[in-house]
């Protein structure tokens, strides 16, 4: 494994093993696209969460995988990738059968209201589960933390965001996972890779500021087991495009269909 949380000693060891071919598989973040990565005999590249890679990263992947079999995975393909697939430039397959026992995530769009927030958190804690609360403005997270703790005295809130040192970020998420906190107040740093079976409500603040694909990814942080899960999209916008985007999430659970709607709303071009 290779990530930004790996130590220098661990990274140097993996670099050596990749170069001399003594390991068969490496799993990592964007770190694997760094120029110091040398593969002895690369045969397969798997790109998970393909929508998270920008144009510069895609160019590095193209260079990395020249002449190599490649499989790209995404719950919500970005417009460029989706257009390449639909036009036949890339082969693509859809996995549309949900895991056994998985229930659709109940999704509701509403204007921000303290009463709704209070009820949503209280009911989830009463079920014995935990809550994600996504608010993507770092400087106002402490203010919102005090508001939640005032509304719900039983709420034990911890804040996470991508500007925290990696060790502290990991510690806070692990504390939440172990039950030391029951509300994770966070930015979109949890968008990928978070899989907690005991967290089954997510509240997304200012949801009009996100595009469909990102909202679908955030919603997917809950409903990881056979327990009914809930997603509340809080919005202050009355703009027709924003409302159309959010209402699509109320009725649609399939990532591919949402990606198509996303493409239509953004404009597919030629």
What beta strand segments (E) does the chain contain?
Answer: 44-47, 69-72, 106-111, 130-134, 157-160, 183-186, 199-204, 230-235
Q: What SS3 class is residue 185?
A: strand
pLDDT for position 141: 96
| The Cα angle at residue 173 between residues 170 and 176, in degrees rounded to 5 | 150
Q: Closest Cα to residue 131, out of 33, 27, 205, 237?
A: 205
Q: Which residues of the chain have pLDDT under 50?
A: 270
pLDDT for position 268: 62
Return all residues near 127 (Cβ < 8 A) that are at least 6 apart.
200
What's the gap between Cα 142 and its chain centre? 22
pLDDT for position 59: 81
Cα distance between the two ends of the chain: 40
pLDDT for position 171: 94
pLDDT for position 97: 81
The DSSP code for 110 is: E
What's the gap between Cα 86 and its chain centre? 24
pLDDT for position 252: 83
Number of Cβ within a 10 Å radius of residue 75: 18
pLDDT for position 269: 56
Q: What SS3 class is residue 96?
A: coil
pTM: 0.80
């Amino acid at each position: 494994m290779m990530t930004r949380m790996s130590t220098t000693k661990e990274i140097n060891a993996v670099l050596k093993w990749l170069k001399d071919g003594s390991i068969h598989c490496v799993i990592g973040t964007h770190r694997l696209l760094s120029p110091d990565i040398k593969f002895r005999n690369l045969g397969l590249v798997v790109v998970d969460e393909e929508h998270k890679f920008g144009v510069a990263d895609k160019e590095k992947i193209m260079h990395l995988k020249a002449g190599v079999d490649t499989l790209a995975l995404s719950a919500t393909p970005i417009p460029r990738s989706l257009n390449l697939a639909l036009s036949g430039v890339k082969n693509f397959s859809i996995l549309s059968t949900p895991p056994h026992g998985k229930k659709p995530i109940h999704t509701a769009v509403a204007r921000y209201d303290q009463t709704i927030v209070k009820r949503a958190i209280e009911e989830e804690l009463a079920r014995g589960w935990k809550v994600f609360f996504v608010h993507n403005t770092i400087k106002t997270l402490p203010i919102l933390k005090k508001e939640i703790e005032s509304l719900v005295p039983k709420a034990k809130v911890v804040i996470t965001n991508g500007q925290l040192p990696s060790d502290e970020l990991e510690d806070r998420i692990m504390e939440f996972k172990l039950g030391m906190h029951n509300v994770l107040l966070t930015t979109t740093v949890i968008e990928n890779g978070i899989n907690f079976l005991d967290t089954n409500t997510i509240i997304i603040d200012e949801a009009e500021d996100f595009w469909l694909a990102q909202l679908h990814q955030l919603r997917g942080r809950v409903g990881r087991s056979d327990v009914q899960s809930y997603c509340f999209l809080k919005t202050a916008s009355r703009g027709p495009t924003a409302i159309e985007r959010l209402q699509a999430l109320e009725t649609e659970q399939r990532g591919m269909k949402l990606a198509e709607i996303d493409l239509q709303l953004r404009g597919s071009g030629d």
